[in-house]
Structure 1
């Protein structure tokens, strides 16, 4: 024990009935929502294909092979945009993004927190407005041939392209909420 009267006792007594009811509801509703999972995955994939087509139509797409010489030369900045249950998008800009940013990008710990619980972050909003926004952004969307697993992807790309500036950011969900 660490001296606190409630240390080591687990949940408060009034939480246990809610947990039991929650478990029962999940069990009973599984036949309803489980078949929807593949449908939702297909809808998200279709949405990403439409997004890719819109970026191509706007001239904002480059293949990974087209970008490889610039990446290997350390030119520009690679932006990895991600979010909880959202697609990972990889963007490239010829700009030195960090030198013009109004504040530093989120740390790896902040990215992990922002992925799960989105909240306003000055760098994320600035990066979205200037580079990754569908209408007004200037970065080029690309599709890496060998995307690493996980959420914090910038270190993997930094290892592969040591001279390249690579940052992790999240989808600007605060912008979506303001638009609603």
Structure 2
């Protein structure tokens, strides 16, 4: 349940940012540094979240979880950059930023217990959603700046509401600790009988 929830959250936010990019593509200045940074920030936030998720799913193999996280993050990074019509070097830079954060996510899970990793997962999902929502507001302000300024308070309240809904509906960590296969990464307890 936890992994489906996180995957659905990531797919919905990815759909949202890709829609915003598509709708504003005629207003995006391909040479403007802000949009290159936007693609890098999105890649890094998705990368860390996907890294933590892959590390939790494939917690018995750091190599496999890192490979999966890097591959998925690279695909997302390149897709976002190509949608923004950036130069291939910007897409490569964004992909490597995403891969680096994906590796950090998988390594964090490898160093921590799964329960501690669960809290990293919540945090990274919330940060990713926040970054995507703020990026969408920034993109839509290219065409609808007056409307966004007029409803700025409502936008802030809406973003806080979305984050609160995600936080309070996030599946409990009991789904992790009840699964015997997910306990492979837990510290072993040695019982010595004399």
Q: TM-score, normalised by structure 2?
A: 0.22
From the CA coordinates, give the structure whose radius of gyration is larger.
1
Give the structure, 1 or 2, with the largest relative contact order (CA under 8 Å, sep 6 or more): 2
Higher helix fraction (1 or 2): 2
Higher strand fraction (1 or 2): 1
